[in-house]
Structure 1
Amino acid sequence: MNATVLGRDLLQVAFEHAPCAIVVTRNRRVLECNHAFCDLFGYEKQKLIGQLMLKLYPSYADFKSIGDLRYKDLLQNKKCIDERFMRNSRGEVFWTKTIGNTLTPDAPFELAVWSFMKINVGRDKSNDLTMRELEVSSYIANGHTCKEIGRMLHISHRTVEAHRAKIMKKLGCRNTAELVSKIIQLED
């Protein structure tokens, strides 16, 4: 009996202090999470328990579309791996590698375990951007339109479009998806 108790305590300690961010979800709500998960997303544990994972996505559209895709993967394979944008408590968007396992194969989201790892890439290109371009790029990475950015920075949306074009050229981007991906990498 004592070994069982010790074994359970040891498993709990291992979970809480694992070096990777781990969350257990029930129907996409946080059931349990470890310290690394709280640190990654910038929330205290009690602010996450019982909350929909939606809280950690950049938008409802991302929550829904990624959920639809991962549900199908888990239904077929019981496991899924992807890279996606997530959002921390300060509203900052960042890129993660996410791995999920379902514990209920017939209803994949009923009970699942997920790990998240922030993808860090060097800042070598950020030195090429001006302070204003870095400022504009952070708004772009967080999904704001040129008009919204213009209003927030008290400049015209045409000026924001010009900054956006310069940023795209400096970072060697061909489309918006590449641009956002590279901006996220610069912010790490």
Structure 2
Amino acid sequence: MSQSAPEISDQTLSLLAFDAAPVGIVLSEDRVIRACNARFAELFGYPRAALLGESFRMLYPSGGDFDRVRDIGLEPLKQAATYSDERIMRHASGKPIWFRFRAQTLTPDAPLSRVVMSFAPLARAEAAQSLTPRERDVISGLSRGLTSKEIARELGLSPRSIEDVRARLLKKFEVRNASALLARLSHLG
């Protein structure tokens, strides 16, 4: 006769599911990490305790990257309470990591007051590491569905400059278009 698992409360089960999730999950309040699961800490290479109470700024390749990316999903969060994109973050070792990022606000009137986010790695750090900062900017824009003109406007560059970077990326990753580029990056891992 097999033994059944001991009774566990719903709250304990929820905490177990949170901590054992196969993706990194984090609760943020005004861009400060308030809670995270073990996978999130593992993905970024920090002990969980070192992340709690810290700004998300520490997880971006640079302060400029944080400033440029931090408000991108603000309007979608206000309108639909969710946002998703792909972005490059920074491991504790300094190596870049390419993630599929998803966010759900718990406070739509003030979207960043309390947000639950998930991070799932898409490509090996080596692939992201071979990208220049400008290539990262362009790929980030492409992953959000922006045109070259929209990316240029966001970055304060000419559309021709963005087209040049796109062409270089297509050649570098041996693909024919932006969709194939994003697919290649997501399947490198």
Tell me which residue corresponds to 1:97: 100
Structure 2 counterpart of 1:84: 87
Q: Aligned pair in 2 of structure 1 residues 87, 183: CA closer, same or farther (>3 Å)?
A: farther
> How far has the Cα of 1:61 moved from its partner?
2.1
Q: What is the match of residue 107 of structure 1?
A: 110
Give the percent of matched residue pairs that are identical in Structure 1 and Structure 2: 32
Tell me which protein shows more helix as a share of its residues. 1
Distance 1:46 1:143 in 2: 30
| Counterparts of 1:116 and 1:85, CA distance in 2 | 11
Distance of 1:25 and 1:13 partners within structure 2:
19
Measure how far apart 1:173 and its partner are.
Answer: 7.6
Match in the other structure for 2:12: 9
Q: CA deviation at 1:182?
A: 10
Match of 1:141 among 131, 137, 154: 131
Gap regions ≥5 residues in structure 2:
1-7, 135-167
> TM-score, normalising length from structure 2?
0.65
Confirm whether residue 50 of structure 1 aligns to residue 40 of structure 2: no
**Residue pair 1:58, 1:142 contacting (<8 A) in 2 also:** no
- Secondary structure of 2:104's counterpart equals strand
- Pair 1:27 & 2:30 matched: yes
Gaps (5+ residues) in structure 1?
127-136, 145-165
After superposition, give the CA deviation of every residue in 1:125-157 in whole Å (9 maximum; x if it has no partner): x9xxxxxxxxxx94x53649xxxxxxxxxxxxx
Shift of 1:120: 3.0
- Determine if contact 1:26/1:112 at 8 Å carries over to the other structure: yes
Instruction: Give the residue type in structure 2 aligned to 1:87.
Output: R
- Structure with higher Rg: it is 1
Once residues 26 and 104 of structure 1 are traced to their aligned partners in structure 2, the CA distance between those partners, rounded to angstroms, is 10
Structure 1 vs Structure 2 CA RMSD: 3.6
Aligned residues: 149
What TM-score does the superposition give when structure 1 sets the normalisation length?
0.65
